[in-house]
Chain A
Amino acid sequence: NAGVTQTPKFQVLKTGQSMTLQCAQDMNHEYMSWYRQDPGMGLRLIHYSVGAGITDQGEVPNGYNVSRSTTEDFPLRLLSAAPSQTSVYFCASSYSSDLSSYEQYFGPGTRLTVT
Chain B
Amino acid sequence: GENVEQHPSTLSVQEGDSAVIKCTYSDSASNYFPWYKQELGKRPQLIIDIRSNVGEKKDQRIAVTLNKTAKHFSLHITETQPEDSAVYFCAATSTTDSWGKFQFGAGTQVVVTP
Could you tell me the distance between the alpha carbons of A42 and B36 in the complex, rounded to whole angstroms? Answer: 11
Which stretch, A18-26, A66-74, A101-109, touches the partner chain B? A101-109
Complex: how many Å from CA A56 to CA B98?
10
Within residues 1 to 43 of chain B, which ones have a CB less than 8 A from any CB in chain A?
Answer: 1, 6, 9, 32, 34, 36, 43
A-B CB contacts (within 8 Å), total count? 58
A56 lies within 8 A of B100 (CB): yes
Choose among A45, A50, A56, A108 the residue that contacts B102 (Cβ–Cβ < 8 A): A45
For chain B, the count of residues having a C-beta within 8 Å of the partner chain is 25
Q: Are A41 and B101 in contact (CB-based, < 8 A)?
A: no
**Which of A48, A103, A106, A109 interacts with B49 by CB under 8 Å?**
A103
Chain A, range 71-115, C-beta contacts under 8 Å to B: 90, 96, 102-104, 106-109
A 55-66 binary contact with B (CB < 8 Å = 1; else 0): 010110000000
CB of A45 within 8 A of CB of B101, answer yes
Interface size on A, residues (CB 8 A): 24
**With A40-B9, A42-B89, A43-B89 in contact, do A106 and B103 touch (Cβ < 8 Å)?**
no
Other than the known A42-B105, A48-B100, what 11 A-B pairs have Cβ atoms closer than 8 Å?
A: A31-B100, A35-B104, A40-B9, A42-B6, A42-B89, A45-B103, A56-B100, A58-B101, A90-B44, A102-B95, A106-B44
- Which B residues have a C-beta under 8 Å from some C-beta of A? 1, 6, 9, 32, 34, 36, 43-46, 49, 89, 91, 93, 95, 98-107
